[in-house]
Structure 1
Amino acid sequence: MSLLVLIVLFTAFGGILSVLAASLFLLLSESSQEKLLPHGISFATGALLTGAFCGLIPHAFAEVAVKDIPSVSATILLGILLFFVLEKLLVWRHCHSHACEAHGEESHTHHGGAQHVSTRPHTAGVFIILGDSIHNFVDGVLIAAAFLTDVQLGIVTSLAVAAHEIPQEVGDFAILLHSGYTKAKALLYNVLSSLATVVGGLLGWLSLGDLHGILPYFLSLAASSFIYIAVADLIPTLHQKTDLKTSLQQIGFILAGVALIWIMQDIAHRFEA
């Protein structure tokens, strides 16, 4: 199977799967959502960190000479700073926290333990769609860079992206609904936004195919993205509850995320061999 076909399939699979999973998740009762979403966030944390430290970064280092490793490391650092700035400018904040100030118009209140979002109609929704489309486009470029480096790495990177997109899409879907969008329009806009991943993958394949010298730096940016999302967005949410039972559950699901990516790396390696 050609690299182009693999890139299109895996970029489309991750984006559409996350949107469909989010839409099905919102059909559950609020109490069920509150129980399941933290587990998804924990799972995504383990998947992202494993994808970054056990997949992307080792491959980035392996693709350059020893003398260039410091510059690849610096790219990881600069990438984390870049994603911080982009999050500030483009309102990328995933709505996992109880006080999601990055969307400006939103406020969260709690009644009987349930979380509600109130926004001015459509304003927050427009920012969500714009920010998510840009985020998905960048994910597509980075997935393409991973596939161009190694098929195994591309598969693992796609799975890690899908793991963190599901909790994000749940938050985005909820904001669109509370911003005045119907369920049909919210689903449509989320699907269209997810297709930006395919566009990014195609552009990455076209522009990076003959530029293998810069692929390690794109892998470094992908690792920066994974680390930033896990550390800046997901882990702070997990710290909101500190009781022993919840903490043990969080550790268990983080380890499950680690195990998934680790196992998929092994399967993909055998498949490629």
Structure 2
Amino acid sequence: MNLLFLIVIFTALGGVLSVLAASVFLLLPDDTRAKILPHGVSFATGALLAVAFWGLIPHAFEEVGVTQIQPLSGAIMLGLLMFFILEKLLIWRHCHSGSCEVHGDTDEHGHGHSHGSHKSAGTMIIIGDSIHNFVDGVLIAAAFLTDVKLGIVTSLAVAAHEIPQEVGDFAILLHSGYSKAKALFYNVLASLTTIVGGVLAYYSLGDLQDSLPYFLAMASSSFIYIAVADLIPTLHKKTDIKTSLQQIALIFAGICLIVSLHGVAHDIQLDGVENEATHQHSS
């Protein structure tokens, strides 16, 4: 199957479809949405960590020689610092809990109490998501250009963490005065930048094969930072035994799913290679 076609399909999965999936939560009562969201955050934490440490980082190191191991490790470290700085500048801001300095605090029911302009917070969400989704598209394309199975699990991990984020973003946009229709429209519009990033990366990164391991390193930095800096602190807000055990179970579920999908994608890719080789031999 054409690689560009795969990139378009899976960047759409990581962007547009995650928004549409998150939009289902708009139909739920606030209390129900507040109960479901933390479970999605726990699952996304495991998925992101698994993709970073089981998929992206090993593949990045496989692509470079022994002399490049230290520079590649440095790229991962610099990536973490870069995402910290971006978040400080309010460009890369994820509100999974519905409470942050940019968007204002929320009560236990998810209702916001903004400290500034509601419209400004909504605009910041749309701009931030557009940039974030564009970068996600580049990272997905880089993963596909390295290995098809890596591209598949990377796009699934993007979708896993995008869904709970988009649910939070919907809540913020609604509180900022947007109607449900406009909130959905602007979120879908912002998600299209994932496809744009993937297509542009396909045409530019293809000629920069030596740089692909460093894009994978940046992708792993992104996933690790989101999991450790944004998602895990949210999970620590609940400390009772029952909730903690649920969080641990869902984190491991996210890890197991990505590891399993990685194996399935590997088998599918091997079958495709064997079939192609058989076809060429017979012809």
Same fold by TM-score greater than 0.5: yes
The one of 155, 158, 182 equivalent to 2:152 is 155
Unaligned runs of 5+ in 1: none
Query: Would the aligned equivalents of 1:118 and 1:179 in 2 still touch at CA under 8 Å?
Result: no
> Which whole-Å CA distance do the structure 2 matches of 1:174 and 1:57 have between them?
34
> Which whole-Å CA distance do the structure 1 matches of 2:37 and 2:28 have between them?
11
Alignment match, 1:208: 205
Q: How does 1:135-146 map to 2 (within 5 A)?
A: 135-146=132-143
Alignment match, 1:116: 111
Q: How much does 1:122 deviate? A: 1.6
Query: Would the aligned equivalents of 2:13 and 2:156 in 1 still touch at CA under 8 Å?
Result: no
The one of 249, 255, 258 equivalent to 1:258 is 255
Unaligned runs of 5+ in 2: 271-283
After TM superposition, which residue ranges in structure 1, 4 or more long, deviate above 4 angstroms?
none
The one of 185, 188, 207 equivalent to 1:188 is 185
Alignment match, 2:31: 31
Alignment match, 1:173: 170
Query: Would the aligned equivalents of 2:45 and 2:254 in 1 still touch at CA under 8 Å?
Result: yes
Query: In structure 2, the residue corresponding to 1:90 is in which secondary structure?
Result: coil
Q: Does structure 1 residue 107 correspond to structure 2 residue 104?
A: yes
> Which whole-Å CA distance do the structure 2 matches of 1:235 and 1:57 have between them?
21
Instruction: Report the residue type matching 1:64 in the other structure.
Output: V
Alignment match, 2:50: 50
Q: Percent identity?
A: 69
> Which whole-Å CA distance do the structure 2 matches of 1:51 and 1:63 have between them?
17
> Which whole-Å CA distance do the structure 1 matches of 2:9 and 2:38 have between them?
29
Instruction: Report the residue type matching 1:221 in the other structure.
Output: M
Alignment match, 1:88: 88
Q: How much does 1:109 deviate? A: 4.0
* TM-score (ref. length: structure 2): 0.92
Alignment match, 1:73: 73
> Which whole-Å CA distance do the structure 2 matches of 1:99 and 1:135 have between them?
19
* TM-score (ref. length: structure 1): 0.96
Alignment match, 1:8: 8
Instruction: Report the residue type matching 2:112 in the other structure.
Output: V
> Which whole-Å CA distance do the structure 2 matches of 1:183 and 1:34 have between them?
18
Please say which structure displays the higher CA radius of gyration: 2
Q: How much does 1:92 deviate? A: 2.2
Query: Would the aligned equivalents of 2:49 and 2:224 in 1 still touch at CA under 8 Å?
Result: yes
Query: In structure 1, the residue corresponding to 2:219 is in which secondary structure?
Result: helix
